[in-house]
Amino acid sequence: MRTAFLVAPEGVEQIELTSPWQSLAATGATPRLVSTASGTVQAFNHLDKGDTFPVDLTVDGAAAEDFDLLVLPGGVANPDALRTDPKAVAFARAFFEAGKPVAAICHAPWTLIEADVVRGRSLTSWPSLRTDIRNAGGDWTDRQVVVCDNGPNTLITSRKPDDLDAFNRAVLREVGVRT
Protein backbone atom coordinates (compact mmCIF):
# COMPACT_ATOMS: atom_id res chain seq x y z
CA MET A 1 0.00 0.00 0.00
CA ARG A 2 1.67 3.17 -1.23
CA THR A 3 0.33 6.14 0.70
CA ALA A 4 0.91 9.84 0.03
CA PHE A 5 0.70 12.24 2.96
CA LEU A 6 0.28 15.70 1.43
CA VAL A 7 1.46 18.58 3.64
CA ALA A 8 2.68 22.14 3.36
CA PRO A 9 6.26 22.98 4.39
CA GLU A 10 4.98 24.35 7.70
CA GLY A 11 1.93 24.06 9.89
CA VAL A 12 0.84 20.43 9.83
CA GLU A 13 -0.58 19.21 13.13
CA GLN A 14 2.07 16.69 14.18
CA ILE A 15 -0.20 14.04 15.71
CA GLU A 16 -2.45 14.15 12.63
CA LEU A 17 0.60 13.29 10.53
CA THR A 18 2.35 10.79 12.81
CA SER A 19 -0.62 8.78 14.09
CA PRO A 20 -2.04 7.71 10.69
CA TRP A 21 1.53 7.33 9.35
CA GLN A 22 2.47 4.91 12.13
CA SER A 23 -0.85 3.09 11.86
CA LEU A 24 -0.35 2.47 8.14
CA ALA A 25 3.38 1.71 8.42
CA ALA A 26 2.62 -0.98 11.03
CA THR A 27 0.67 -2.87 8.33
CA GLY A 28 3.61 -2.83 5.92
CA ALA A 29 2.31 0.15 3.95
CA THR A 30 4.81 2.56 2.44
CA PRO A 31 3.97 6.11 3.52
CA ARG A 32 5.66 8.96 1.64
CA LEU A 33 5.71 12.61 2.67
CA VAL A 34 4.74 14.82 -0.27
CA SER A 35 5.01 18.58 0.04
CA THR A 36 5.02 21.74 -2.04
CA ALA A 37 8.73 22.26 -1.32
CA SER A 38 11.71 19.97 -0.80
CA GLY A 39 13.67 19.74 2.43
CA THR A 40 11.81 19.30 5.68
CA VAL A 41 8.34 19.96 7.00
CA GLN A 42 7.89 21.82 10.28
CA ALA A 43 5.11 20.20 12.29
CA PHE A 44 3.24 21.85 15.15
CA ASN A 45 1.61 20.71 18.36
CA HIS A 46 -1.28 23.13 18.09
CA LEU A 47 0.56 26.50 18.19
CA ASP A 48 3.95 25.23 19.41
CA LYS A 49 6.66 24.03 17.04
CA GLY A 50 6.99 20.28 16.99
CA ASP A 51 9.37 18.04 15.10
CA THR A 52 10.58 18.34 11.53
CA PHE A 53 10.12 15.59 8.98
CA PRO A 54 12.03 14.97 5.72
CA VAL A 55 10.09 15.43 2.49
CA ASP A 56 10.19 12.38 0.22
CA LEU A 57 8.71 14.03 -2.89
CA THR A 58 7.39 17.38 -3.99
CA VAL A 59 4.06 17.71 -5.77
CA ASP A 60 6.09 18.50 -8.90
CA GLY A 61 7.50 14.96 -8.85
CA ALA A 62 4.52 13.07 -7.47
CA ALA A 63 1.56 11.60 -9.31
CA ALA A 64 -1.66 10.10 -7.97
CA GLU A 65 -1.16 7.01 -10.14
CA ASP A 66 1.96 6.19 -8.07
CA PHE A 67 -0.11 5.86 -4.88
CA ASP A 68 -3.03 3.83 -3.56
CA LEU A 69 -4.24 6.28 -0.90
CA LEU A 70 -4.00 9.99 -0.07
CA VAL A 71 -3.96 11.20 3.55
CA LEU A 72 -4.44 14.89 4.27
CA PRO A 73 -3.44 15.78 7.83
CA GLY A 74 -4.81 19.00 9.28
CA GLY A 75 -3.66 21.87 11.40
CA VAL A 76 -4.96 25.29 10.46
CA ALA A 77 -1.94 26.61 8.54
CA ASN A 78 -1.22 23.40 6.60
CA PRO A 79 -4.41 23.10 4.51
CA ASP A 80 -4.68 26.87 4.26
CA ALA A 81 -1.29 26.89 2.50
CA LEU A 82 -2.11 23.82 0.38
CA ARG A 83 -5.37 25.26 -0.95
CA THR A 84 -3.50 28.23 -2.40
CA ASP A 85 -1.01 26.02 -4.26
CA PRO A 86 -2.47 24.95 -7.64
CA LYS A 87 -0.20 21.91 -7.90
CA ALA A 88 -1.17 20.65 -4.44
CA VAL A 89 -4.86 21.14 -5.26
CA ALA A 90 -4.43 19.31 -8.58
CA PHE A 91 -2.60 16.46 -6.81
CA ALA A 92 -5.49 16.01 -4.36
CA ARG A 93 -8.10 16.25 -7.14
CA ALA A 94 -6.26 13.59 -9.16
CA PHE A 95 -7.00 10.98 -6.47
CA PHE A 96 -10.72 11.63 -6.90
CA GLU A 97 -10.45 11.49 -10.67
CA ALA A 98 -8.60 8.17 -10.38
CA GLY A 99 -11.18 6.75 -7.95
CA LYS A 100 -8.62 6.31 -5.17
CA PRO A 101 -9.44 6.67 -1.47
CA VAL A 102 -8.74 9.94 0.33
CA ALA A 103 -8.61 10.49 4.10
CA ALA A 104 -8.71 14.00 5.59
CA ILE A 105 -8.78 15.18 9.19
CA CYS A 106 -9.54 18.45 10.99
CA HIS A 107 -9.01 21.48 8.68
CA ALA A 108 -7.75 19.33 5.76
CA PRO A 109 -11.09 19.46 3.88
CA TRP A 110 -10.19 23.06 2.94
CA THR A 111 -7.88 21.55 0.33
CA LEU A 112 -10.73 19.34 -0.92
CA ILE A 113 -13.08 22.32 -1.11
CA GLU A 114 -10.54 24.12 -3.29
CA ALA A 115 -10.23 20.99 -5.44
CA ASP A 116 -14.03 21.10 -5.92
CA VAL A 117 -14.53 17.49 -4.86
CA VAL A 118 -16.88 17.75 -1.85
CA ARG A 119 -20.10 18.46 -3.78
CA GLY A 120 -22.64 15.73 -3.03
CA ARG A 121 -20.34 14.09 -0.47
CA SER A 122 -20.93 13.51 3.25
CA LEU A 123 -18.06 14.53 5.49
CA THR A 124 -16.98 15.96 8.79
CA SER A 125 -14.20 18.32 9.86
CA TRP A 126 -13.20 20.76 12.53
CA PRO A 127 -16.52 22.53 13.27
CA SER A 128 -15.43 25.90 11.86
CA LEU A 129 -15.37 24.41 8.34
CA ARG A 130 -19.06 23.44 8.47
CA THR A 131 -20.24 26.48 6.48
CA ASP A 132 -17.37 26.21 3.97
CA ILE A 133 -18.24 22.57 3.30
CA ARG A 134 -21.95 23.27 2.96
CA ASN A 135 -21.26 26.23 0.63
CA ALA A 136 -19.14 23.89 -1.50
CA GLY A 137 -22.07 21.46 -1.80
CA GLY A 138 -21.00 18.96 0.84
CA ASP A 139 -23.18 17.49 3.57
CA TRP A 140 -21.40 18.28 6.87
CA THR A 141 -22.13 16.27 9.99
CA ASP A 142 -20.64 16.37 13.49
CA ARG A 143 -19.40 12.79 13.91
CA GLN A 144 -16.12 11.25 14.97
CA VAL A 145 -15.54 9.77 11.52
CA VAL A 146 -17.52 9.78 8.28
CA VAL A 147 -16.90 7.30 5.48
CA CYS A 148 -18.52 8.44 2.24
CA ASP A 149 -18.73 6.08 -0.73
CA ASN A 150 -21.03 8.43 -2.66
CA GLY A 151 -18.74 9.37 -5.51
CA PRO A 152 -15.88 8.10 -7.59
CA ASN A 153 -13.88 7.09 -4.51
CA THR A 154 -14.13 6.61 -0.77
CA LEU A 155 -13.68 9.75 1.31
CA ILE A 156 -12.84 9.30 5.00
CA THR A 157 -12.99 12.38 7.22
CA SER A 158 -12.61 13.09 10.90
CA ARG A 159 -12.92 16.16 13.13
CA LYS A 160 -9.87 16.45 15.39
CA PRO A 161 -6.94 14.71 17.08
CA ASP A 162 -9.25 13.15 19.68
CA ASP A 163 -10.85 11.21 16.79
CA LEU A 164 -7.60 9.71 15.49
CA ASP A 165 -8.26 6.17 16.74
CA ALA A 166 -11.57 6.03 14.84
CA PHE A 167 -10.00 7.76 11.82
CA ASN A 168 -7.10 5.29 11.71
CA ARG A 169 -9.44 2.29 12.04
CA ALA A 170 -11.57 3.59 9.14
CA VAL A 171 -8.50 4.13 6.97
CA LEU A 172 -7.17 0.65 7.75
CA ARG A 173 -10.56 -0.94 6.96
CA GLU A 174 -10.60 0.92 3.63
CA VAL A 175 -7.23 -0.56 2.67
CA GLY A 176 -8.29 -4.06 3.71
CA VAL A 177 -6.70 -4.35 7.15
CA ARG A 178 -8.87 -5.90 9.83
CA THR A 179 -9.14 -3.76 12.95
Give the distance from CA 104 to its chain's centroid: 3
Q: Which of 34, 71, 106, 155 is catalytic?
A: 106
pTM comes to 0.97
How high is the mean pLDDT of the chain? 96
Query: 11 and 77 in contact (C-beta within 8 Å)?
Result: yes
Catalytic residue flag (residue 46): no
Average pLDDT value for residue range 56-60:
97
Catalytic residue flag (residue 107): yes
Kindly list the structural domains of the chain, giving each domain's residue range(s) and its CATH number in brackets, ordered by start: 2-174 (3.40.50.880)
Q: Which of 83, 93, 107, 159 is catalytic?
A: 107
Strand partners, 53: 41
Summarised one tens digit per residue, pLDDT across range 92-138 is 999 999 999 999 999 999 999 999 999 999 999 999 999 999 999 99
